[in-house]
Amino acid sequence: MKHILVTGANGQLGRELQAIAQATDGFRWIFAGRERLDLEVPGAIQAFFGQHQVEVCINCAAYTGVDRAESEPGRAERINHHAVAELAEACARKGAALIHFSSDYVYHNSLNRPLREDDPTLPRGVYARTKLAGDLAALQINPLTLILRTSWVYSAFGHNFVKTMLRLGRERGAVRVVSDQIGSPTYARDLALVAHFVALGLPAGGFPQGIFHYSNEGVCSWFDFARAVFDLSGLPCTVVPISSAEFPTPASRPYFSVLDKSKFKEVFALPIPYWRDSLRDCLQLLL
């Protein structure tokens, strides 16, 4: 029986994996939230791996407060970089594989075309820098590492853009949303299904190592995304397009972060849903 550890089990991806794993027989799942494995505590990871058998670790834990990270750089560095390195080291000692999630923010290179895995990285801000540092550390420490770089993640669980728009749509007649940042939304359930597929050992040719991009198909702005939330939910809320300059934030956002998924499609025999279709599926759970 394969033992699969999921860290950050109470976040968006972790909760989605918990739901998916309920229908999976023949595997031993270990779901560890912060109360069971606090990645900020020195030595906690080493001790946890010493007490449990682990053959695959899916790291769903991350410091995702992009703006808050600017005032909490130490916490972001600990969770997004040092804890990832320690997880990779613990996995390497056991010969275990590591599946880790990263971000489109690591690029920020203004190429204005779909971004490939081998494109130069130019992280801006604490969040982006710590995510890239964690990626590089994991790849260097444990060869059996798969990094799924993704964008604009939302879910029926946790805090995210879709749930914020639903709340504001019920409270207000109009919302202002930036229209000059372009990317691709990603339903956490779809992303979790990819990690689940890999963890169960289903990809042909063995464990896929290295960096892969994954998001839902299609391209939109945050303005388009918000419009779709209201259109599909039936909320009578007007979306007013604004520029990023009209909505300043502590951390810089990439203006164009569409991910090229050609490499993923070559390796994985998995369909990638269109973003509006996945959004509709998520909204059915929220409405």
pLDDT at 86: 97
Marked catalytic residue, from 105, 127, 154, 187: 127
pLDDT at 179: 97
Give the global pTM.
0.95
Question: In the structure, how many helices (H) and strands (E) does the chain have?
Answer: 10, 12
pLDDT at 158: 92
User: Consecutive sets of 10 residues in the chain, 287 residues long: mean pLDDT of each?
Assistant: 93 96 87 95 95 96 96 97 98 97 92 94 96 98 97 96 97 96 98 96 88 98 98 96 95 94 94 98 96
Count other C-beta atoms under 10 Å from residue 35's C-beta: 8
pLDDT at 241: 97
Token pair belonging to 122: 């130019």
Q: Is the Cβ–Cβ distance between 54 and 91 less than 8 Å?
A: yes
Is 214 in the active site? Answer: no
pLDDT at 109: 74
Question: Do the strands 220-221 and 182-183 form a parallel or antiparallel pair, or are they unpaired?
Answer: antiparallel
Domain range 2-159+185-216+258-273, its CATH number among 3.30.2130.30, 3.40.50.720, 3.90.1150.10, 3.40.640.10 = 3.40.50.720
pLDDT at 207: 92
- Rounded distance between C-alpha atoms, residue 119 and residue 239, angstroms: 34
| CB-neighbour burial class of residue 266 (10 A; exposed 0-12, middle 13-18, buried 19+) | exposed
- Rounded distance between C-alpha atoms, residue 57 and residue 269, angstroms: 22
Residue 61: strand, helix, or coil:
coil
